[in-house]
């Protein structure tokens, strides 16, 4: 059974720092991996989707990498801002057909001005 782990559970950094969030998964048979952002009491916003054949995806100050063989993904945030404060969730879509996303528990990020 696929399990997704995110470390650390919480992270606090000063504004302007570059930071890395980690995600690991137990079964490398995946279709894709997605990173979501969630503000308190709100829904999820999809940030980046990396297909299993890809190594990375970039959007603005965000860069996500995928190493399927080792079961790892990282989300790199450059020049962090207080507006980046949120919970970041990693989710994988298993290879089996019609199988729902498997979510990690998230990393709660605080960027201090």
- Which positions lie near another protein, rule CB under 8 A? 31-32, 34, 36, 41-46, 49, 51, 89, 91, 93, 97-98, 100-101, 103-106, 108
Choose between 75 and 89: whose C-beta lies nearer to another protein: 89
C-alpha distances out from residue 37 to 60, 70, 77, 98, Å: 15, 24, 12, 24
Residue 97, φ and ψ in degrees, nearest 5 = -65, 150
Tell me the closest approach of the beta carbon of residue 99 to another protein, in angstroms.
Answer: 8
Tell me the closest approach of the beta carbon of residue 32 to another protein, in angstroms.
Answer: 5
Choose between 91 and 111: whose C-beta lies nearer to another protein: 91
Tell me the closest approach of the beta carbon of residue 108 to another protein, in angstroms.
Answer: 8
Exposure class string for 15-42: b at 16+ Cβ within 10 A, else e: eeeebebebbbeeeebbbbbbbbeeeee
Tell me the closest approach of the beta carbon of residue 101 to another protein, in angstroms.
Answer: 7
């Amino acid at each position: 059974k696929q399990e997704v782990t995110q470390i650390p559970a919480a992270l606090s950094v000063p504004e302007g720092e570059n930071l890395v969030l980690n995600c690991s998964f137990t079964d490398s048979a995946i279709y894709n991996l997605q990173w979501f952002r969630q503000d308190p009491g709100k829904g999820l916003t999809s940030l980046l989707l990396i297909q299993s054949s890809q190594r990375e995806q970039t959007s603005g100050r965000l860069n996500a990498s995928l190493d399927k063989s080792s079961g790892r993904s990282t989300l790199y945030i450059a020049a962090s801002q207080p507006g980046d404060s949120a919970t970041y969730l990693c989710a994988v879509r298993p290879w089996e057909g019609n199988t729902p996303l498997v979510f990690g528990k998230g990393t709660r990020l605080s960027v201090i001005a």
